[in-house]
Amino acid sequence: MHENFDHLPAESYDGGEQHPDNVDQREHTNYAASISEENVASSRNRLRHIILGLLWAHPMSGYDIKQAFDRALASYWNAGNSQIYTTLKNLQQAGLVEAEVIVQTTRPNRKVYRLTEAGQTELDSWLQEDVPERFTKDEFLTKLFFCGETSDEVTLKHLQQHRASLLKQLDHMEWARQQYASRPARRPRLLEYQMLVREYKEAVLRAGLAVTENAIAHLEDL
């Protein structure tokens, strides 16, 4: 479990010219940085598009949207109440959603949001855009990268915690499947693609779990 850093190119100059290997390395570094900046910029709009997508299915209150995040989207995207309500306010100001107050006698009134025609156009436009290349930040893998500089006990702790996190995510996905997948679908085609996303995410989690289990077994055998 030790990483050899000898192969990483060092900064080197010869007669004022950059070494070809360093030029190639710098191009890759700049490319990754540009992709990361693009992802940060696009993530600012991603929540609004997720909410537009949820409202396309049917009108919802802010509470309903938060529940949808918790039960169906938690494995792919998380959002707090303040983010959701701030985004809903911005969407309403932009004319992409409209709100209606539902008066209730035994409960507090509900503010229900629905997509406008402009919101539908915005959602359609986003769905047709190319998906940006994915350079994600992963603190666990970044820390694991440097674990050759610490003890195997510390590394084992990180791996075990990561395993617990993966198992927790898989348990949540199974719970959501049992709770909601068997319900009658008002939009079967929408459900089909939602289940495809779950299948994809579950495969990624199980692949990560297998690698983690192998690494744990290796350290425990030392």
DSSP string, 170-214: HHHHHHHIIIIITSPPSSHHHHHHHHHHHHHHHHHHHHHHHHHHH
Higher confidence at residue 32 or residue 88? 88
Query: Under a CB-based contact definition with an 8 Å cutoff, are residues 76 and 134 in contact?
Result: no
* Chain centroid to CA 20: 36
Higher pLDDT: 131 or 101? It is 101
Instruction: Say what the pLDDT of residue 167 is.
Output: 96
Token code pair at residue 146: 């440097």
For the chain, domain boundaries: 46-129, 137-222
pLDDT for the residue numbered 5: 34
Q: What percent of the chain has pLDDT over 70?
A: 77
| pLDDT, average across residues 100-114 | 92
Higher pLDDT, 70 or 135: 70
Question: Is the pTM here over 0.75, yes or no?
Answer: no
Under CATH, which architecture does the 46-129 domain have? Orthogonal Bundle (1.10)
**The token pair that represents 125 in the structure block:** 């436009």
Per-residue pLDDT for 117 more than 90? yes
Does residue 11 have a pLDDT over 70?
no
Mean confidence (pLDDT) of the chain: 81
Virtual torsion, Cα 45, 50, 56, 61, nearest 10 deg:
-100
User: Look-up: residue for tokens 């909410």?
Assistant: 51
Name 148's Cβ contacts closer than 8 Å, sequence gap at least 6. Answer: 1, 2, 3
Model confidence at 212, pLDDT cuts 50, 70, 90, reads: very high
Q: How confident is the model at residue 174 (pLDDT cuts 50, 70, 90)?
A: confident
Give the model confidence (pLDDT) of 146-172 as tens digits: 999 999 999 999 999 999 999 999 998
pLDDT tops 50 at residue 13: no
